[in-house]
Structure 1
Amino acid sequence: MRTELRSLRGHNAGAMIRRLNPIIRGWAAYYRTQASSQTFKKLDQYLWALTYRWALLSHRNKSRPWVFARYFGKFNRSRQDRWVFGDRHSGAYLHRFAWTAIVRHQMVRHRASPDDPELADYWAWRRRTAPLPINTTSLRRLHAQHGRCHICKGLLHADTDRPQLPHHWERWLATNPAAITTIATWDASTDEAKHRLIHADCLTRSSDTPLPAPTATRTRSSRMR
């Protein structure tokens, strides 16, 4: 992290957030089955100190209260943390390690090898049931839709695409969630709006054709995070 921040001197807060978030989320996703919540808290404290120092060096002629007011605040509205580093212009903010839920590792069946073709279903089941490091709302919708797109019915996240290493998680979190979006559909039976996950490409392709029932009277695009 220190090396990344040094390389980002002279850049704005938005550029730093775009660079660091995939790294933070990737490493947190990889170690969430092994690390403790206290470890994640210590990493957040270390990262906060690094970002604070970056902000001070970026504005040498400004006071500390000015730096705090410009870069730190309650950017994540779903949490009560007032010390989140963020960009006032875009509203983007730096993810925290502690926001990634700890998921206890499920022991592998005795002598079960991923290279054994007879156990392909077993390993596919393990990948499928492991929760993805996305927000709770999106994860709940994903389960409700059995992991499939509301429009094309294809898998939203293929089991074979699950990353295996920290830098693989970095790339996955930098690109994969952006390929999924949310639409608001109107359910005539309940007279209520419901939100469903679809492929971003499906939304583009369906712009000239009606969406499947329930009929969508309006759409809202949002990324899975």
Structure 2
Amino acid sequence: MVACCHSRQQAEQVKAQLAEWLAPRGLTFNEEKTRIARLSEGFDFLGFTLRRFHDSKLIITPSKKAVMRLRKRLTDEMRNLRGSNVVAVIAKLNPIIRGWAAYYRGVVSSRIFSNLDSHVWRLTYKWARRSHPNKPKKWIVRRYYGKFNKFRNDYWVFGDRSCISESGGTYHMVKFSWTNIVRHQLVTGRASPDDPDLRDYWAKRRRKVKPPLDNYNLNLLARQEGRCPLCGDYILTAYQPPQSPHEWERWWLNTVRRAVAASYLTHHGGHGAPDGPQTRLVHASCQRSLRARTRRRTAVSATPRTPLGLA
């Protein structure tokens, strides 16, 4: 923990007040990890770097250590994926990219996101060159890169043309820069999550936090009021937001990937009539059940019936 105040005396007073608040809860400060610093010097906390510039503006960015840890993890994952196919590479890296970008989307991260996208591009290109050592560069580019995300004017998206995603498009790798920056909303007054009288306030505040989906899926979710048109239940239930990149990564794997699917059964492309056939977000389980019922009905209708009667 780091205490940041205008003077050391004020910092000691804040530390004493926090100690009084922690004592009834059976908690104490770890003196080895607690220090007093000036905001103008900057400090790292929970993967963020906080620093006040020109005695007025506070800038919060992902810490250098956090960025270096991520770059190393991506490099190690790509090294372990040597010999794997492109689908395995995308399936492994996509949750890591989405989770890290979701955790840091509330601070000044745009430039770091772009730099990380460049790092991932170099890793994927090196992987492709190693997988096809006898192929020319142009062949590799045509094979693995293209405008695979139809909502992005980007022709350097890594993907597999032979694999179709659940949304109906080419299976591709996401980018850090595709995650929108959402600024943190200040808490009203001195509202504390530990105050039982403010339970409704914190629940309402969590519901207002937009999930880290792209604009297209966010618009679909808003149009449906967050509910699945097949079963009527909420698609993404508003629980306590994840508190680390790894928790966001697990959230993507366990919640979004299994809960959300885009239904293109009746409509693909265009806007469609408000009450007519159009693309909608549904639960993945509901979509699988609908497809199973459709296949059973098709199989029954296609079965020839033998007329009954006497010859």
User: Within 5 A, what are the aligned runs for 1:140-179?
Assistant: 140-160=219-239, 162-177=241-256, 178-179=258-259
Using the TM superposition, name which of 194-203 and 46-55 deviates more: 194-203
The CA RMSD measured in Å over matched residues stands at 2.5
**Are the counterparts in 1 of residues 147 and 155 from structure 2 also a CA contact under 8 Å?**
yes
Q: May I ask how many residue pairs the two structures share in their alignment?
A: 207
Using the TM superposition, name which of 75-84 and 174-183 deviates more: 174-183
Query: Per chain length, whose mean CA-contact separation is higher, i.e. which structure has more relative contact order (CA < 8 Å, sep 6+)?
Result: 1
Q: TM-score, normalised by structure 2?
A: 0.60
**Are the counterparts in 1 of residues 262 and 279 from structure 2 also a CA contact under 8 Å?**
yes
Task: Call closer, same or farther: CA 1:35–1:6 in 2, change over 3 Å.
Answer: farther
Deviation, 1:154, is: 2.2
Q: What SS class does the counterpart of residue 281 from structure 2 fall into? A: strand
Q: Percent same amino acid at aligned positions?
A: 48
**Are the counterparts in 2 of residues 2 and 50 from structure 1 also a CA contact under 8 Å?**
yes
Give the equivalent residue in structure 2 for 1:64. Answer: 137
Task: Call closer, same or farther: CA 1:44–1:207 in 2, change over 3 Å.
Answer: closer
Using the TM superposition, name which of 98-107 and 30-39 deviates more: 30-39
Q: What SS class does the counterpart of residue 25 from structure 1 fall into? A: helix
1:63 & 1:120 partners in 2: Cα distance?
Answer: 61
**Are the counterparts in 1 of residues 95 and 249 from structure 2 also a CA contact under 8 Å?**
yes
Task: Call closer, same or farther: CA 1:191–1:23 in 2, change over 3 Å.
Answer: closer
Higher strand share: 2
4+ runs deviating over 6 angstroms = 206-209
**Are the counterparts in 2 of residues 180 and 198 from structure 1 also a CA contact under 8 Å?**
yes
Deviations 1:93-136 (A, max 9, x none): 11011111111111123332222222211221221111111122
Using the TM superposition, name which of 7-16 and 175-184 deviates more: 175-184
1:17 & 1:138 partners in 2: Cα distance?
Answer: 20
Task: Call closer, same or farther: CA 1:37–1:190 in 2, change over 3 Å.
Answer: closer
Deviations 1:53-73 (A, max 9, x none): 111122222222222221112
List alignment gaps of at least 5 residues for structure 2. 1-73, 164-169, 268-272, 294-311
Q: Which residue of the other structure, out of 99, 104, 121, is the alignment partner of 1:48? A: 121
2:111 & 2:92 partners in 1: Cα distance?
Answer: 25
Q: Which residue of the other structure, out of 263, 279, 282, is the alignment partner of 1:198? A: 282
**Are the counterparts in 2 of residues 185 and 196 from structure 1 also a CA contact under 8 Å?**
no
1:63 & 1:105 partners in 2: Cα distance?
Answer: 47
Letter in 2 for 1:58: S
Give the equivalent residue in structure 1 for 2:22. Answer: none
Give the equivalent residue in structure 2 for 1:219. Answer: none
**Are the counterparts in 2 of residues 22 and 174 from structure 1 also a CA contact under 8 Å?**
yes
2:291 & 2:152 partners in 1: Cα distance?
Answer: 35
Is 2:77 aligned against 1:77? Answer: no
Letter in 1 for 2:199: A
Give the equivalent residue in structure 1 for 2:261. Answer: 181
Q: What SS class does the counterpart of residue 193 from structure 1 fall into? A: coil
Q: What SS class does the counterpart of residue 156 from structure 1 fall into? A: coil
Letter in 1 for 2:226: G
Letter in 1 for 2:140: V
Give the equivalent residue in structure 2 for 1:38. Answer: 111
1:26 & 1:96 partners in 2: Cα distance?
Answer: 11
2:92 & 2:181 partners in 1: Cα distance?
Answer: 24
Deviation, 1:14, is: 0.8
